[in-house]
Structures are given as structure tokens and as C-alpha cells.
Amino acid sequence: MTEPSTTDAPSATAPSVSSTATQTEVAVLAGGCFWGVEEILRAVPGVLDTDVGYTGGWLKNPGYHDTHDSKSGHAESVRITFDPSVLSYETLLDDWFFKLHDPTTLNRQGNDVGTQYRSAIFPQSPEQEATAKRVIERVNASGRWKRPITTSIEPAATWYSAEKEHQDYLQRNPGGYTCHWMRS
């Protein structure tokens, strides 16, 4: 097993400029099993990179098995690097995140049960936090879901990349397990 990399949220979230002058922003989202979330989001126009991992818990350097049965407090999450000139954070949440999983089931997605499968947003800036609150209010009011949204907004925390075998999992294992779908 390779040692997971860690990045403190503040340094990982600052927008950066590449040599081609593309602005980037980072979003950290948890919506159940990270394989399915990553697979859907990687194809969204404006998404530049995805990384699956763990955040929001108390255990340092967790591994995949450490996150199960709520043993670490971490959520299986996806860190998304995107170009905000192509995809806004608000659109990422409203048109993608709140349609690719069921945000009304507390600590559960499909057959996956436990706090590691919670629906959570880890804002990387005060602006992202304000946007997340606004989108949750709008989605709740829209009637898109029959039950209230249970998605939590949690403080940005240390990011731990998942082990190599979990990165790009559904790309390497087409037809592998996922509990995700896109809802209109």
C-alpha cells in the first residue's frame, strides 16, 4: 500500500494559474461511494482533474478499510479541479452534484451505509460556503426531491488521497459497482 498524500485544505484550495493562464478552482464533495461520483464528474465540461480520497474525519493517514463502519469519521470524497470560466461552482453543485446521488438519505447511498457515505460539501472558501448554502436552499425548495436534503456543509479539512487501486477505478473496471445515476 502506498502512503496517501496529504494536503492541508487552505493551500490546496487557492486558485492557481498554469503556464497557459487557465484559472482553476477546487471543489471537495462527498456523495456516497467515490468511484461513481468520480466517474460522472470526470466527464463534465470544465472538470480538469479528479482525485478520490478521504476527508472530514479524525484519523490521520486513513486507508480504505479505515473509513468503513464509521471508524475514522472520514467521508469517501472526490476532489475536483475545474476551470471556473467553463464550469461555475454553483453549476457543479446544482446541475451535477445534487443530481448524481440521493442527498436525502442520511449516511447512505443505495446499499452503501455508514458515515463514510454521507452527502457532504467541504467548501474551500467563504464564497463556496455561501454558494453551497444557497444551492441547498434552492434544491430543497424546488421539489426535485420528495424528502429534505440531508447534505452537510463541513469545514475544509486535510485531504488524504485514496490508494492507487481506487483512483480511476471505473475506468479500469468498466461495469464495476456504483450506486450513482444522473437524475433530471
Cα distance between residue 132 and residue 167, in whole Å: 26
33 assigned to active site: yes
Query: Which residue out of 26, 29, 30, 33 is catalytically annotated?
Result: 33
Q: How many CB atoms lie within 10 A of CB 143?
A: 7
DSSP 45: T
Closest Cα to residue 152, out of 82, 89, 105? 105
C-alpha cell at 152: 452537510
| Helical spans, DSSP H, in 42-142 | 64-67, 89-91, 98-100, 126-142
Q: Which residues have a catalytic role annotated?
A: 33
